[in-house]
Amino acid sequence: MKSIPPINNCLTDELRMDLKRYMTYKSSVFSIKSSVSITLGFKIHNIWQIQDIENRSFIRKHKFYDGEEKELVVEKITRLNGSTFGNVYRIESRNQRLFLKIKRHIFPFHNWDMLLEHLLYRKLSLDGFAVPISIAIDLSHTRINADYSIDSFIEGDNFLFAFKKHGPRIIENLGKSLAYLHKNKGKKFGYLDAQILIDTGQFIGSCNSWWNFISSNYQNDLVALTTNSLLSQSNLEFMNAAFLKFKELKIEENTLLHGDLFYKNIIASQYKIYFVDFEDALIGDPIFDIALFFSFFEEYGYLPNFFEGYSGSDVVEDNEARRFWFYVLRISVSDLARSVRWKDWGKSNKERIMRNISRSIKELRKYSF
């Protein structure tokens, strides 16, 4: 695999200290979809005026630069569905389409996940993986009072629309594409250590064991669920027993995982699959990525189609099935606890989570888990 040049020379001592604080907090929690903010609470720091970004003239009057410090001429700007802590845009500039992501500060440090994603895009695209090409990133706030990144724009449908168009074949293609991504290996476990990736270009996790990552924040999640009486006592007891049995498996897989395989982060251009939004990338068991996708997608009947593409066989081995359903349960518990804390769930979201919890417990009982 090709190496990417380290970029540590562009980081000031102040920025490096900021990154060190960030990695200290991120390595201590298991989270799905940024639920780490629950641990810290919302500490607003240097938050900029969001109404500025709502005004498209803001984009036009500020200068953005590519990786070679050439000014990008913005000919047309289109607002897209935003992310949790910022906004995203499609830019048309000199006969090319680009993707602009702008994030405001919601924590007491920079958006280092954006830099992590930038480096992953650079490395994976060099190695021939279907990801956006990273054009630029700027965390300096010298041009605009926010962190931003610019990438190539991937034309296509999000996976849910693609599935409605193409059916099971696109599921098999997803399996093939994810298997290719999972050829990347790293060391240790959990979320990628951004500082090591910046300095060396290596994929190194921030936890000493996969169990440490999976089990972190579990007790806090249980407190949130029991306080709100969302799960029966028998289900809570089963979950605790399942955790102890999972610990005995001693997972040693050191695979690079996407970490947020929501269907909107999978783009299908005809039958070709692209992965975007690598801000939650981590090292661990590849079955975790598969469980993440299906916990959102929920069409579990297509697991054989997926594994036909992923491993060349539509048979899901018992060991894989046990891990898969345990991860669906763990992800759903985290998702439910986050929704309780943030009070951000709608009826459909709650129903999906509860369906996943019930289904995963039912399936795990088949394996005496």
pLDDT score for 330: 95
- Contact of 280 with 188, CB cutoff 8 Å: no
What is the pLDDT averaged over residues 156-171?
95
Q: Which two tokens stand for residue 30?
A: 């298991």
Q: pLDDT tens across 22-40, in order?
A: 666 565 555 544 332 222 2
- Contact of 206 with 191, CB cutoff 8 Å: yes
Q: pLDDT tens across 261-308, in order?
A: 999 999 999 889 999 999 999 999 999 999 999 999 999 999 999 999
Q: Give pTM, 2 decimals.
A: 0.85
Instruction: From residue 288, give the alpha-carbon distance in Å to each of 35, 72, 77, 235, 325.
Output: 17, 39, 37, 22, 9
Domains of the chain in start order, with CATH, are 34-152 (3.30.200.20), 157-366 (3.90.1200.10)
Q: pLDDT tens across 223-276, in order?
A: 888 887 888 899 999 999 999 999 988 888 999 999 999 999 999 998 899 999
Q: pLDDT tens across 65-81, in order?
A: 555 556 667 778 888 87
Q: Which two tokens stand for residue 202?
A: 């290596």
pLDDT score for 67: 57
- Contact of 179 with 310, CB cutoff 8 Å: yes
